[in-house]
Structure formats: C-alpha cells, structure tokens
A and B are shown apart, each in its own frame.
Chain A
Amino acid sequence: MTGPRIPSFRNRHALVVHPDDNDRRLLDGRLRRLGLVVHCHENMPPVPVASHADVVFFDVDTGAGSPFEGLAPSVRLIALVGAETPGRLEWMLAQKPGAWLMKPIRSSGVYTALAMAFQRLEQQHDTERYLERLRLRARHRDPVEAAIMQIMHQNNCSEQEAFSSLRKAAMDTRSSLVTLSKSILADDLPPPQRGLLQRGG
C-alpha cells in the first residue's frame, strides 16, 4: 500500500516562538520526547536563522506583521492558537501554517500537528512540482497551438485535421512538434515539409 507515511522526527529542529509560560514548557517537553531538537524563543529570530529549522511553532496571540517573509520553503509552520477572535485567525491564515494546535497545550495533539505539517509540506511540494510541469508544457504548447491555427487558416481545415497533418509531418521529418511548429511560425520551412502540410498531403 502506498500513501502518506509519518516520518521519524528524531533530530529534526523545532523552533518555538512563544512567551515563556506553561504552554511553551509543555510543548518543549512533548517535542523532546518525540526526538526533536528544540529551540525556544520569546520573539521571532531573524529569518535566516529560522530558515535552519525544520518546523516553526508560532504564537498567534502575540504575533504581528509578516515574520515569515523570506523564510526557506522547507520550513513547516504550526500555529499555536489561543484566542479564537477573527482578527487573530485572519493573521494566522495569512502566515499559511501547515497545521495548528489549540492552547492550552496538552499531552496529546502535538504529534498529530507535526504529522500534518510535514505531510502538508510534501503535498505542497508535489503540487508545486506538478504545476511547474504544467507550466512548462503550456509554454511548449503555445507554438504548437499557434501552428495548428495557421494550418487551419491556410488549408481551411478542422483543428483535428490540422493537428494530424502537423503530427504526420513531424514524424516524417523526425522533428518534434514544437520545433516544427516554431519553423512553421517563422516561415522557414523547407519545401518538402511544406508539401507535407498541404491539404491532403
């Protein structure tokens, strides 16, 4: 069976940005038990420092501004929520955390939040990689689509017919669709290939 797997958090670095109180002490203890190396701070350290962490737990009650601007994309964010006021929750959402924990911190919940945050980041990276592939493909498709339009216009044929003749010409001349399409658009197609693209060719 394939699917999400929860990694071991041993030796992962957790940065906890929260006032020094009971909640921070409890969270610190839970994270250490889960094998993480914990660094506690009252205020957000500079972004280059925070970027070394695998996961940052941040306080929503006292947070302000945009503390994570420029943070390495490999850092997972987990929000520590106290007051559930709309203003605070809006600020939390703006930080785009991968998971959240309600305060007071309890003996349960920390592991679930870690699992969520790590999984969400992987998912996010998968999605970003997929989007990048689509973007690339779309960029490459542009000349193909433009060439098809030109063939349709010149030969007064359907999109399907134009694409068939383009593909056939590419196969016959052993060139890629993109290369051939770019040549068509630049109007520097050798006569033999041009012949292949004529209606019925």
Chain B
Amino acid sequence: MHKGVKQLPARWAAAVFVETSNVPVSRERIPVGLLYSGTGLYGAVGQEMLRGALLGLEEVNAWVSTDFVLEPLIADPSGRLRGYYEACDAMLRQHRAMHLVGCYTSAARRQVLPLVEAADALLWHPARYEGFESSESVIYVGAAPNQHVVPLARYMLQHIASSVYCIGSHYIWTWETARVLREMLGATGGHMAAERTLPLGETSVEHVVEEIVRLRPGVVFNTLVGQSSYAFFRAYHAARLRDPHASLPPILSCSLCEPELQIIGAEAGAGHIACSPWFQSLDTLENRVFLGRYRERFGPGSSPSVDAQASYTCMLLLGRAIKAAGSADVAAVRRALYRDSFRAPQGAICVDPDNNHTYATPRIARSNLAGQFDLLWESPALVRPDPYLVWLDQALSEHSEVSAPPRRHLRIVS
C-alpha cells in the first residue's frame, strides 16, 4: 500500500482509518476524509484517484511554511452507496472532518451531499459529471458538461461527421450526455443514426458493433463505462480487422483515459478521440513535475487518469486555501479559495464563486499505439463552467472557438 498510510484490511467497508505518520506535534492536524472506492465495480479508477489525492496531500504536508498538516481519513465504500453514506457520516461526526475529498459517481456524491450540507462541511469533488447541480457545500473540480461533452460534440460536428451512432451504459450520465448531443444535432442539422444503451457492466456488445457496421454512421459517440466500454473497443477493433475495407469511423468518448487504454490494449485503443481538461501527454512544466512525482511515488508503471490528476489538484486547492485563510474553517476556506488561482497539471485553474465549479481548458486528443493521447485541439482560453448549460445555444454558435486542429500536434494513427 502507500507509504505512510495504514495498510487496510480486506473488509474495510464503513471503517475509517486515520493516518498516523510522523508529524511534528507542533503543527495542527486537520482531518481530511478521502472517499474513494478502491474495490468494487470501479475500483481501478478509485485506486488511481486515491493515489492522486494522497500525492497532493503529502505535497501540502511537505510545505515548510505552514503550521498545519492534513491528516487523511481513508475509507473504502467498495462502490456501495450505503458505504459512502456510512463512511461520510463517521468522518463528519466521529472524526470532525470538515473537508472531504472524493466520490467518483454522481450517485455517490448525492448520497453524501445531505450529510455534508447538514454539517456545513465541504466536499471537494474531482470527477467530471453531467452537471445540473450546484451546492454551496461542494467544490466541483472535475469538468462541467460545457467543458467536456459540448466541446467534443461541437468538434465532431465541425470536423468529423454529423451522422452519429450513440452507444452508452444505462444510467444517468449517458442519458444526459445523449440528450445534449441530440439537442446539438437538432440545432445544427445533424442526424442520430441510432441510440443504444447497455446495462452497466454488460460485456456482450457484438450486436452493437454489427449494427454500426450495417448502418455506417459518420462517427460513434461512446458513453459506455468500465468493462462494457473495454469490451466494445475490442469488439470494434475485431470488426475492423475482419473487414479492413469497411473503414469504420473513430469512436468518440468523454471519459476515455490512459489507464483504460492500457486495459483495452494498444491496437484496439488506438485512433479514437477523447475530450478532457487533461491528458498525460500535456507538455507543461507543472504536468511534467506531477507525472514525475506520481511515478516516483507509485512506481514507473503507474498511470494517472484525469480524475487522479483532479484529485491531486483538489488537495492542492484545499491546502492553499487553508494556508491563505489561516484556518480550516469552511467559510474562511471558501473565501480564500475564491481569490486563488494557480497552475495545476491541467493548466491554470480557479473556482467560479457563482457556482463552485472550476474554470478549465477543454482539450481534444486522439489515442495512439503507445497508449497516450496526441492533442488535436485545445480551447484558446479558459472556459467558464456552465453546469446548467444556460449558454448552450451560444456555445453552439461559437464556431470560431473550435478552429482547425493545429498542424504541429497532428499525429494520425493509421
């Protein structure tokens, strides 16, 4: 397990563990709850996110000029909603934590939200999500829909095709993403060739691939998650191999990340397009430093996802705000946070006080055979979060924003 963090037993469902590393007694200990599922349906994602959070926490604790340390409380709800509720309850009531970092799914976030709101605590949420929420008690560090779904759909309509086959897992994020896509297609004269959903975890995807081969849409928009998505990429690749002349279009995803490309396999994962505020390949000083520390800490083979990067960023935002406020008091931290901005691995970041979401730089990239992404487009400016898509019509008409892909980044995978 991670250095400095207590080894966790096999069954750690609602238990909360307190990190007890060597911390100078003179520094105030501020408990921070880490709500990540390292096991269960999306355990692989949760583990990377926990790693990102721990790296950020350790970095904050290493600051010499502060008089506090963040003390991690770790629990593994194993993806069970009840587990999230119990762990959050224990963190808030027994351990008096006023800052919690984590939650991957919207269902998990909504499960703990009433507890966090009632305690007037703060949840630092790293994952992108479907939007249509804005709580005073949550800092939404992951991308809002206008920072991932909208730019990807716009890029698709302008540069790839307007006839779309939509495939997704049977749950809210897919439904909402498909709805936004339908709206954008309607406004731009595009065409939904078909819209299919599969139950969560379903890996029988052959019939979907067969339908795509038959319908020949201009592009495939994928919102499958986890094993369903991996199975789909592999089956799609197999169909391409069976009929090289079929020229099946690329698959577009809002959630495809580097650790998943490893799971899918190099060839099946290559040549597809994703939208995210961060990719491992982002060539900035801050990102190189982050990746270096991550690999040093968790091994050269470790591969952070965008959500792991956001978890790391959550912890830095929290540490900086506590430092600036001189206190972990939620109101003081919130005020300090609203004044802050800094360069995270994903680039400049700051929080919009109107809705508690972060400004981000959407990027679109194509996966390559090395399991990395080559940048195709990046927003020329930070994009203000619009969780309720109040400005969707304007985002649609901003054709200039998605200009042609810059040539220097183009590395087409054949």
Chain A residues within 8 Å of B, Cβ to Cβ: 19, 21-22, 61-62, 64, 82-88, 90-91, 103-104
Cα distance A176–B175 in the bound complex, in angstroms: 59
Task: Say if the beta carbon of B170 comes within 8 Å of chain A.
Answer: yes
Task: Say if the beta carbon of B176 comes within 8 Å of chain A.
Answer: yes
Tell me whether B82 and A22 are in contact (CB under 8 A).
Answer: yes
Task: Say if the beta carbon of B85 comes within 8 Å of chain A.
Answer: yes
Task: Say if the beta carbon of B404 comes within 8 Å of chain A.
Answer: no
- Assuming the contacts A84-B133, A86-B132, asked whether A61 and B114 have C-beta atoms less than 8 A apart, the reply is no
A92 vs chain B, min Cβ distance (A): 12
- Assuming the contacts A83-B110, A84-B132, A84-B133, asked whether A64 and B176 have C-beta atoms less than 8 A apart, the reply is no
- Assuming the contacts A22-B82, A61-B107, asked whether A87 and B114 have C-beta atoms less than 8 A apart, the reply is no
Cα distance A61–B111 in the bound complex, in angstroms: 12
Selected A-B contacts with CB under 8 Å, 14 pairs: A21-B82, A22-B82, A61-B107, A82-B107, A83-B172, A85-B132, A85-B175, A85-B179, A86-B132, A86-B179, A87-B172, A88-B176, A90-B179, A91-B175
Q: How large is the interface on B (under 10, 10 to 19, 20 to 34, 35 or more residues)?
A: 20 to 34
Main secondary structure of the interface of B (DSSP, over half): helix
Tell me whether A87 and B133 are in contact (CB under 8 A).
Answer: no
Tell me whether B107 and A87 are in contact (CB under 8 A).
Answer: no
- Assuming the contacts A87-B179, A88-B176, asked whether A82 and B110 have C-beta atoms less than 8 A apart, the reply is yes
Q: Which of B85, B106, B178, B179 contacts A83 (CB 8 A)?
A: B106
Tell me whether B176 and A85 are in contact (CB under 8 A).
Answer: yes
Task: Say if the beta carbon of B131 comes within 8 Å of chain A.
Answer: yes
Q: Which of A82, A87, A104 contacts B176 (CB 8 A)?
A: A87
- Residue with the greatest number of chain A CB neighbours at <10 A, chosen from B85, B133, B170, B175: B175
A118 vs chain B, min Cβ distance (A): 27
A residues less than 8 Å from B131 (CB atoms) = 85
B residues less than 8 Å from A82 (CB atoms) = 107, 110
Tell me whether B82 and A61 are in contact (CB under 8 A).
Answer: no
A residues less than 8 Å from B378 (CB atoms) = none
Cα distance A41–B82 in the bound complex, in angstroms: 17
Tell me whether B85 and A85 are in contact (CB under 8 A).
Answer: no
B residues less than 8 Å from A91 (CB atoms) = 175
Tell me whether B172 and A61 are in contact (CB under 8 A).
Answer: yes
Residue of A whose beta carbon sits closest to that of B81: A21
Q: Which of A62, A86, A90, A103 contacts B110 (CB 8 A)?
A: A103
Cα distance A84–B175 in the bound complex, in angstroms: 12
Task: Say if the beta carbon of B130 comes within 8 Å of chain A.
Answer: yes
A109 vs chain B, min Cβ distance (A): 13
Cα distance A82–B178 in the bound complex, in angstroms: 19
B residues less than 8 Å from A61 (CB atoms) = 107, 172
Tell me whether B82 and A83 are in contact (CB under 8 A).
Answer: no
Q: Which of A21, A22, A85, A90 contacts B172 (CB 8 A)?
A: A85
Name 17 extra pairs, CB < 8 A, besides A21-B81, A21-B82, A61-B107.
Answer: A21-B85, A21-B111, A22-B82, A62-B171, A82-B110, A83-B106, A83-B132, A83-B172, A85-B130, A85-B132, A86-B132, A87-B175, A87-B176, A87-B178, A88-B175, A88-B176, A103-B110
Residue of A whose beta carbon sits closest to that of B110: A82
Tell me whether A88 and B172 are in contact (CB under 8 A).
Answer: yes
A residues less than 8 Å from B175 (CB atoms) = 85, 87-88, 91
Q: Mark B184-197, 1 if CB is under 8 A from A, else 0.
A: 00000000000000
B residues less than 8 Å from A103 (CB atoms) = 110
B362 vs chain A, min Cβ distance (A): 20
Residue of A whose beta carbon sits closest to that of B113: A104
A29 vs chain B, min Cβ distance (A): 16
B residues less than 8 Å from A64 (CB atoms) = 170
B residues less than 8 Å from A104 (CB atoms) = 110, 113-114
A residues less than 8 Å from B178 (CB atoms) = 87
Cα distance A103–B106 in the bound complex, in angstroms: 13
